[in-house]
Chain A
Amino acid sequence: MEPSWALQSLDRISLPSLAFENAAEMATEGLHENETLASLKTEAESLKGKLEEERAKLHDVELHQVAERVEALGQFVMKTRRTLKGHGNKVLCMDWCKDKRRIVSSSQDGKVIVWDSFTTNKEHAVTMPCTWVMACAYAPSGCAIACGGLDNKCSVYPLTFDKNENMAAKKKSVAMHTNYLSACSFTNSDMQILTASGDGTCALWDVESGQLLQSFHGHGADVLCLDLAPSETGNTFVSGGCDKKAMVWDMRSGQCIQSFETHDSDINSVRYYPSGDAFASGSDDATCRLYDLRADREVAIYSKESIIFGASSVDFSLSGRLLFAGYNDYTINVWDVLKGSRVSILFGHENRVSTLRVSPDGTAFCSGSWDHTLRIWA
C-alpha cells in the first residue's frame, strides 16, 4: 500500500532556481556589458581585500582584553537531572517547547518522540518513513512539531491527545529539497518554516499551502544549521555549512547580508547571542567562535589544545555569559563567552553529543547523543 506521503511529493514544485535567477538578474544591473571574466575576478579580489582592510581598521582590541575587568566566574556544578530513554538509535536533534517543559527529539531510526521532561514520560511518538531524521522543531503554539531528514522534506505533524488518532495520518508535507534536510525552525508563528538542506540552500515555506516563499542561495556546499535572530532584531537568520562559511540572510529579500569564513572545517551549529548582535558557531575544526554582527568580524575563539574533536552543537545561557557546546568526544564544555576560557566540562554521555539546547526560561539545558539518550542538565 502506497504511503500517503509518497503521493504528496508530486504536489510541490520547488522553485529555488527560479528565485535565484531573478536575484542574479538584479545583481547584473549596474555592471557593464563588455566585462570579461578576468576583469570581474580582479574586481572580486580587490573587493575581498577592501573588505579585510575595512574589518581590520576597526579591530582595535580583543573581546577577552576588554573583558578583563569583568569578575571571573566561580565553580559550576551542573549535573544530569533527567535521562530520557526510549530512542532505539542515535539521537540527532531536539527542540524545546515554549512551555519550558516539553521536548521533541528525533533519531536515526526514524522515530520522533515528544517528552515531558519533568516526568520523563513520552507523550507522543511517530515513525517517519525515512531513517536519519536530522531535524526537528517545536511549533511556537506547542500544538505541532516539524521534522525531516533523508526524505529531503520537512513535514509538520499536529499534536493531538486523542488516543484513537494516528499522528501520522494528519501529517502535512511542507518543504521539498533536492537533498537531505539538515535543520528546520518555525518562524514567529506556526505559519512559516525555515529549512536548511544538503542541497546547499535554505528556504522559507508557508506551512498551510506548502508554497516556497523565499530561497537563499550562496553556500557552496551542504548547509548544516540555521538559527533565527531574536524577534526584536528583525527578519534575519544565520546559517552554517560544509563550505566553512556562516552567512547572515535577510528573510524578505533572500539576500546574504554578511558572511564569515574563519573556521577550518564544516560549521555544524550556529546560535544567536541573546541580544541578536552576535552569534556563536561550533565546527568540526574543534573550535567554537563568536562573531559580532556590528563589528562584522570574529571576536572570540573558544578552543583548547586538548580539545581535538568537533563541536556539534552550541547554545547560550539566558544572559549570554555562558556558551554550552556538545562535542564528538562525548563531552560538553561550558565556556565563559566574554573571557574566552572554559569554566566547566561535563561528562555523562557514552557517545557523541549531537544536539544541545537551553530551555526557554534558562533553568536547564538538554543534550542529545548517539548513545540513544537525552539528558537534562541543571
Chain B
Amino acid sequence: MFLKSASGSLKMSGKTASTTNNIAQARRTVQQLRIEASIERIKVSKASADLMLYCEEHAKKDPLLMGIPASENPFKDKKTCVLL
C-alpha cells in the first residue's frame, strides 16, 4: 500500500538496544514459541476433507457459485414485459 513506504517499517517495541530489553524480548519469543509449538494439529488430509465437505454442504446456497435467476437477484436487471 502506498502509505507503508512513508511510515517505514516500524518496529513494534521501539526500545533501545540495552541488554535487559533484549533478554526480555528473547523470553517473550521463547514463551510465544512454546505456546505455538504445543498446540494440537490435525493432518492436512483431514483438514482438506473438512474444507471440501463445507463447500459441498453449502454450494447450493451460494448465489455467486450457482448463479441465481435475475428475478431473484436485486442487482441483476429484470426483463420487463413488453406489450407488442
Contacts and interface: CB of A to CB of B under 8 A. Distances in A.
Chain A CB within 10 A, most for which of B22, B29, B57: B29
A40 B23 contact: yes
Main secondary structure of the interface of A (DSSP, over half): loop
B7 A295 contact: no
Given A44-B30, A221-B9, A362-B64, A63 B48 contact: yes
B44 A62 contact: yes
A274 B64 contact: no
A70 B55 CA distance: 10
Contact of B7 (A48, A55, A180, A218): A180
Contact of A55 (B41, B52, B55, B74): B41
A364 B44 contact: no
A378 B75 contact: yes
A220 B47 contact: no
B33 A221 contact: no
A50 B33 CA distance: 10
A118 B75 contact: yes
Size range of the interface on B?
Answer: 35 or more
B34 interface: yes
Contacts of B34: 47
Contacts of B82: none
A361 B74 CA distance: 11
B39 A257 contact: yes
Interface string A161-185: 0000000000000000001100000
B12 interface: yes
B8 to A, nearest CB: 9
Interface string B57-84: 1110111110110000111110000000
A318 B1 contact: no
A318 B54 CA distance: 10
A299 B48 CA distance: 8
B64 A277 contact: no
Contacts of B11: 200, 220-221
Contact of B4 (A37, A118, A224): A224
A259 B36 contact: yes
Contacts of A81: 75-77
B44 A297 contact: yes
B50 A318 contact: no
Across the A-B interface, the 10 shortest Cβ-Cβ residue pairs: A200-B12, A40-B26, A319-B58, A27-B31, A319-B62, A47-B33, A295-B47, A66-B48, A81-B75, A318-B62
Given A256-B36, A365-B64, 13 more contacts: A31-B31, A35-B23, A35-B27, A47-B30, A47-B34, A78-B64, A81-B76, A220-B11, A295-B43, A320-B51, A338-B55, A361-B63, A363-B75
